[in-house]
Structure 1
Amino acid sequence: MSRIELIATATFGLEAVVAREVKELGYEDMMVENARVTFAGDNDAICRANLWLRAADRVLVKMGEFKALTFDELFERTRALPWTDWIPENAVFPVQGKSVKSQLHSVPDCQAIVKKAVVEKMKQKYKKNWFEESGPRYNIEVALLNDTATLTIDTSGAGLHKRGYRKLGSQAPLKETLAAAMILLSRWQPRRVLIDPLCGSGTIPIEAALIGLNMAPGLKRAFAVEDWPVIPKKHWLKAREEALEAVSRDRDLQVFGSDIDGEALNLARYHADQAGVGGKVFFQKLPVSELRSKRKFGYIICNPPYGERLGDMRQVEELYRNMGKVFKELDTWSFYILTSHPAFERFFGRKADKKRKLYNGRIQCNYYQFFGPRPPRRGEGDTFIGA
């Protein structure tokens, strides 16, 4: 198809990050709204967006958008959309829904009506009254907001945060999409050292290494759309070959993670190997109080405990005090810290230069940004050490 309207969904607060990524892929015809970036593309755009977008949640095909004040209106306007351009007669096509501030507030009813409308459209095309639903999967969503219905098909399948490298679980993991967004918001450059001194199972350092090596985050996973006959296999072959050729495997990175939890660090090393960056990111067991670096300029990006999920509040506040003391010694570094604690700056001992509201799951957080001085254009090497 020559022109397709696509939606890259995003967590609230990350729309501008996703929009920048879409633009860097070469798609400039876009509109940025709450929790989504709508852009125009083609078959290749579907493949490339799924493979390359680091901070987006999903990539959807936008089938249509219209006012729907009655169930009849929802049915007729849904049936008028070109479903059979996408959906084959053996497709599995469940319908999910949501409704916010709309007269059609019964989500189950809306889902049933959309399903019936799609079936009626398919009856016209395929000249049959019953569909087996044994083929590829097409997840349809009807989203109603202020009486406007948006109909989409999900091309991603599993959310884009599922890169394919996190095979084993860990306590309170940070989503890969949020970790990548934190790095992209910091404007970190691969020639600079990056340390996460509270790395847990390693998500931030691993995502930094993927960015530093220009590795597409979706290379190690499959997507629902790969099974769709409407997208020829040649488009996926082209997109994956393009992504493999883009990897800068010879680039030297200085990406480090440390933690006091040895079991979490074992997971981090395993995940780094699974992600293909095992030789590019380094982990060690180390308390925050012993963090040192010989380099004059660098980045610390971390997601410390909040006191809501891990440990009690007093322990967390003491950790923030220790972070403030240790980071103060790295007076030419930049720090980027995500936490939901409302008094973080007071315990850290310094007011952030900038803060941004982000969501870690359903937890509202602030992303505190402390800017160090701009380094010389070319810097010296560095070593990450303990005390």
Structure 2
Amino acid sequence: MGKYQLIATAAMGLESLVANEVRALGYECEVENGKVIYMGDENAIARSNLWLRTADRVKVKVGEFKAYTFDELFEKTKALPWEKYLPEDAEFPVTGKSVKSKLFSVSDCQAIVKKAVVERMKSTYKRNSWFDENGALFKIEVALLKDVATITIDASGQGLHKRGYRVDQGEAPLKETLAAALVSLTNWKDEKPFIDPFCGSGTIAIEAALIGQNIAPGFNREFVSEGWGWIPSKVWEDARTEAEDLAKYDQPLEITGSDIDHRMVKIAQENAFEAGLGDLVQFKQMQVRDISTSKEYGVIVGNPPYGERLGEKKAVEQMYKEMGQAFSKLDTWSVYIMTSNEEFEQLYGRPATKKRKLFNGFIRTDLYQYWGKRPPRQVD
């Protein structure tokens, strides 16, 4: 088994959650802006892709160095051990980005990195001609930040939010990774009832069910690194067997999603069935003001409309008021609402216990947290 430096990329504000997940897999890590860095072998690449719920993707770091000139970028890229990663027939497109760096032309940086890799491969594989690139895919990225070039290979392929269960979606779908983060930021445990009153296509409720039954989020999809010859297929088989063994399919859950739009309720049901959770998560058409329950000590997580579009603001403000009135009766429940509306607390009717800044795509939001009463301590 080899040793690789791995990077799990994360949306802004979710780095600590990704780090917790990496540590739960047994790897020590460092947290930086937008990423979590750790060492691991081939098993770590497979397990990270299968298990990381809140990360965007997993990358293998090939090298990092300062580069002020194109010559430097070329020579230092060429000096990296590309033969350790790329077979002779590898398909290796290069993408790039540059922030606050002297080498600001991304297209030039991409072309130079590509040329440098080709030159290294020519000398390794004793080739004079260009490569056919008809084998496994290795997506190389050169990222320049303040003149430091970090060169990685993407081990995920499609982003990790692509779980494979979304048959359909609404017009502003919540990323599965952010939905999982919203659940992870609550005090919910699998024995508690859980409600998403703005379920849309069902993502938060489905992610809660995956967490509740400890189902690996990547269990039903494939990853680009499964095609890499230096990761034996047995590594992937063992990682999937481990995921199957750790799943708690018998864990009963009480998860409900509701939405005002009957079409979204139908889509949510279809997505839950695609995820294999159709009998586990209940979806129904309902307005938020009509939500009531006799159950205690549950958790409500919602991503309601923000009222950012013209004509929506008044209706959304009224809905926030009705939500506050309905939920005020549920004093043992904890409520977590994500919105960009800065007047949410006034409209809802009380200040949050705690707020956490999050980004829904490029929209800056706050997660307003209202903690319910604690259950009485059990006396033996």
Q: Does 1:236 align with 2:236?
A: yes
CA distance in 1, matches of 2:181, 2:119: 42
Count matched residues.
Answer: 378
Q: Does 1:319 align with 2:319?
A: yes
Partner of residue 369, structure 1:
369
Residue in 2 that maps onto 1:281:
281
- Quote the residue 1:46 is aligned against: 45
Q: Contact 2:101–2:144 (CA<8 Å) still a contact in 1?
A: yes
Q: Is the 8 A contact 2:302 2:336 kept in 1?
A: yes
SS in 2 for 1:292: coil
Contact between 2:194 and 2:254, CA under 8 Å: does it hold in 1? yes
Inter-partner Cα distance in structure 1 for 2:259 and 2:183: 19
Deviations 1:192-224 (A, max 9, x none): 111001111100000000000000000110000
Q: Which moved more, 1:291-300 or 1:11-20?
A: 291-300
> Is the partner of 1:186 in helix, strand or coil?
coil
Q: Does the 8 Å contact 1:214/1:247 carry over to 2? A: yes
Q: CA deviation at 1:311?
A: 6.2
Equivalent runs, 1:61-76 vs 2, <5 Å:
61-76=60-75
SS at match of 1:133: coil
1:19-78 per-residue CA deviation (whole Å, 9 max, x = no partner) reads 0000001112x1100000001111000000000000000000011111111111111111
Q: What secondary structure, in the 3-state scheme, does the structure 1 residue paired with 2:239 have?
A: helix
Other-structure match for 1:113: 112
Provide the secondary structure at the position in 2 that maps to 1:198.
coil
Residues 310/144 of structure 1: CA separation in 2 closer, same or farther (3 Å cut) = same
**2:226 alignment partner, SS class:** helix
Alpha-carbon shift at residue 376 of structure 1 (Å): 3.6
Q: Is the 8 A contact 1:163 1:218 kept in 2?
A: yes
Using the TM superposition, give the Cα deviation of residue 377 of structure 1 relative to its aligned residue in structure 2, in angstroms.
5.7
Matched position secondary structure for 2:258: strand
Deviations 1:301-325 (A, max 9, x none): 0100011259611111111111111
1:342-357 equivalent positions in 2, closer than 5 A? 342-357=342-357
Residues 220-299 of structure 1 aligned to structure 2 (within 5 Å): 220-299=220-299
Summarize deviations over 1:156-186 as a string: whole Å, max 9, x none: 0000000000022322110000000011011
Cα pair 1:305 1:311 within 8 Å, conserved: no
The answer to whether the Cα contact below 8 Å between 2:168 and 2:201 also exists between their aligned partners in 1 is no
* Aligned residues of 1:46 and 1:59 also touching (Cα < 8 A): yes
Q: Are positions 1:304 and 2:298 aligned together? A: no
Which range is displaced more, 176-185 or 346-355? 346-355
CA distance in 1, matches of 2:131, 2:144: 27
CA distance in 1 between counterparts of 2:176 and 2:267 reads 15
Unaligned runs of 5+ in 1: 379-387
Query: Quick one: percent identity of the two aligned structures?
Result: 57
Q: Secondary structure at the match of 2:365?
A: strand
User: In 2 relative to 1, CA 311–243 (structure 1 residues): closer, same or farther, beyond 3 Å?
Assistant: farther
The aligned runs of 1:1-387 (5 Å cut-off) are: 1-28=1-28, 30-128=29-127, 129-308=129-308, 312-376=312-376
RMSD of the TM alignment (CA)?
A: 1.3
Deviates more, 1:131-140 or 1:308-317: 308-317
Q: 1:310 to 1:55 in 2, by over 3 A?
A: farther
CA contact (8 A) 1:253 1:280 kept: yes
Taking structure 2 as the reference length, the TM-score comes to 0.97
Instruction: Name the amino acid aligned to 2:195.
Output: I
Relative to structure 1, the CA distance from residue 68 to residue 229 in structure 2 (aligned partners, 3 Å threshold; closer, same or farther) is same
Distance 1:226 1:202 in 2: 29
Contact 1:172 1:309 in 2 (8 A): no
